[in-house]
Structure 1
């Protein structure tokens, strides 16, 4: 997760050149609306959803990474730099997910508040560093939205009461999600709670709900890693030996290799509309376009496949 990003530096250089050719940045959203809204940039779909839930109509959110785009390999655009340069708050996931962000913020000349939503979360250590997929445990999501609420209140004290009320409501919804997930897996025998995914994105989810992580198609927290022939053979053997029932694809990754492994192991592949939301959310306007909807989708699909 800590590899240097040559492409990221090149993308930022191109973005800077494009901005220079376009003249001045657009006005800050808050200033343009007479101070009625707070301009916030959120890196990922999950964070953007959190900010909208806590900020409500008092915030104008720019989401950098669109649905089904891999955040591990994201490259900033000129529009990203313009949005960051005119924002008052930038919210990031942290834990090494957005390696491109620090250079982007510096290039944009941002001088507002940077919120590390992962601050306070106990990180899971993977083979290649801290696991950034912290939101897959709703208890971590509660920590994240609490940090966002504090940052919004500091940036806009007049909206503090609204942000606090929204936090209370949404925290209760996260607790409800967590209880639903626990109840769903309680109905699944422990011997069937075995998970194989596209990449190692569900470590916090696995730990929270008592699953066994058998392996992943991409043997890494980072989607840029590759599966060797030996690792592929070992994963197929492990799926067979453990009695794992399915291989789950992810919405932001191509399903071809996962499907091939499932065929070799003689188990189901879960793909298409049932693909899991590992690094992203669904399309805007759909239930899965929200954090709560995407997590409910994941649990519903996993339990159904493993119970079959």
Structure 2
């Protein structure tokens, strides 16, 4: 099936390339802002989180094209001809990294993009294979061999605000290198946004301080919150999809084991995610005799909320996640 998808994807890219050659380099479709005209720097950002970071650091001096729209699963994303065109006409591409955008390298090659790709994850201490296999370790900011074998690491790095600080610092460096004349403005934006990330982190910590550690048990749709769990000392009980990747499926034995673990640990809720259907979570919750937190209270695991909503920004989505989980566990 994946091979067939690759063939379809390749054919689509080839057609898009032919169209671009015939029509020239048009204006790519954008997320929150229009493509750069005049002095603005044209930047393609892959995920909603990364796009929001670029907008905050770049400000009025950048025009951001966001590839993955809200509530679209990034793990199994298939690029469109519009994505190809956007990358072909961009001056800078910014990605989450850690193997999250498996489609990006071949898309860049097909688009003929020769500019700079900024990997916002550089310097982040990565978690090997998911949080349940890791002990709580020190948070290091140095670059090193942690980027070897990216596909084996947890890519959901933004759920720890300290990692988000590293990501936006990488983005600021990339923007400044691409537009040196605006470096001062980018640095000022970075300082202001870093202060907001520090406040987010301290607010989260204060909210969790009200919940006894014995009650900080989390079951989610998929294994997306490892960095958050480690940062705020939660206990990971399990996930409906037993993987960092949303394409995995829960076997009958895994389902039975998860229900048993929920009951044994005294877990009180299963948290659905905005980009995934809640049906399996609801079935497991019914068997385990616990509530499902879904709908408007679904967590933002891989995505952000709708543009223009409070949850449509990284800060808003993370505040939402903390409020929802803390309220549910406290209640």
Q: Give yes or no for TM over 0.5.
A: yes
**Is residue 16–residue 78 contact of structure 1 (8 Å, CA) maintained in 2?**
no
User: Aligned residue for 1:287?
Assistant: 310
Rounded Cα–Cα distance in structure 2 between residues aligned with 1:150 and 1:299: 30
Task: Indicate yes or no: 2:154 matched with 1:131.
Answer: yes
CA distance in 2 between partners of 1:146 and 1:60 (Å): 19
d(CA) in 2 for partners of 1:203 and 1:27? 38
1:32 Cα offset (Å): 6.4
Distance 2:35 2:289 in 1: 59
Give the superposition deviation at 1:138.
0.2
Compared with structure 1, are the counterparts of its residues 134 and 176 closer, same or farther at alpha carbon in structure 2 (3 Å cutoff)? same
Runs (5+) with no aligned partner, structure 2: 131-150
3-state SS in 1 of match to 2:228 = helix
Cα drift, residue 5 of structure 1:
6.6
Per the normalisation by structure 1, the TM-score is: 0.95
Give 2:283's aligned residue: 260
Alignment of 1:13 with 2:16, yes or no, is no
- The DSSP-based 3-state class of the residue aligned with 1:201 is coil
User: How far apart, in 1, do the equivalents of 2:270 and 2:179 lie?
Assistant: 46
What's the CA shift for 1:26?
1.2
Q: Which of 282, 297, 306 lines up with 2:320 in the alignment? A: 297
Q: CA deviation at 1:27?
A: 5.5
Once the two structures are superposed, residues 187-241 of structure 1 have per-residue CA deviations (whole angstroms, 9 ceiling, x without a partner) of: 0011110000000000000000000000000000000000000000000000000
- Equivalent pair of 1:12/1:77 in contact (CA under 8 Å): no
> Deviations for 1:59-91, whole angstroms, at most 9, x for unmatched residues?
000000000000001000000000000001000
Given candidates 85, 95, 101, the residue that maps to 2:88 is: 85
**TM-fit CA distance, 1:47:** 0.3
Q: Report the 3-state secondary structure (helix = DSSP H, G, I; strand = E; otherwise coil) of the residue aligned with 1:39.
A: strand
Deviation beyond 3 Å, 4+ runs, structure 1:
27-32
Which whole-Å CA distance do the structure 1 matches of 2:35 and 2:64 have between them? Answer: 14
The 1:9–1:202 alpha-carbon spacing in structure 2 relative to 1, beyond 3 Å, is farther
Partners of 1:173 and 1:9 in 2: how far apart?
44
2:301 to 270, 278, 285: 278
Q: How does 1:90-129 map to 2 (within 5 A)?
A: 90-126=93-129, 129=152
- For structure 1, the 5+ residue unaligned runs are none
Which of 136, 155, 158 does residue 178 from structure 2 map onto? 155
Alignment of 1:1-308 (within 5 A): 7-8=5-6, 10-22=8-20, 23=22, 24-26=24-26, 33-34=37-38, 36-126=39-129, 129-308=152-331
Going from structure 1 to structure 2, the CA distance change for 1:9 and 1:60 (only over 3 Å counts) comes to farther
> Do the aligned partners of 2:17 and 2:111 also contact (CA within 8 Å) in 1?
no
Give the alignment's TM-score, normalised by structure 2. 0.89
Give the superposition deviation at 1:21: 3.0
Which whole-Å CA distance do the structure 2 matches of 1:148 and 1:164 have between them?
10
Counting matched residue pairs gives: 305
Distance, in Å, in 1 between the alignment partners of 2:27 and 2:298 is 39
Cα offset, 1:260, TM superposition: 0.6
Deviations 1:122-148 (A, max 9, x none): 100116720000000000000000000
Q: Is the 8 A contact 1:8 1:75 kept in 2?
A: no
Query: 2-side partners of 1:52 and 1:290: how far apart?
Result: 10
Tell me, in whole angstroms, the C-alpha distance in 2 between the residues paired with 1:31 and 1:70.
Answer: 24
Task: Give the direction of change, closer, same or farther, for the CA distance of 1:43–1:9 in structure 2 (3 Å limit).
Answer: farther
CA distance in 1, matches of 2:58, 2:4: 35
Structure 1 residue 6, shift from structure 2 partner: 5.4
Whole-Å separation in 2 of the counterparts to 1:111 and 1:27: 18
Distance in 2, Cα, partners of 1:5 & 1:125:
28
Tell whether the 8 Å contact from 1:5 to 1:100 is kept in structure 2 after alignment: no
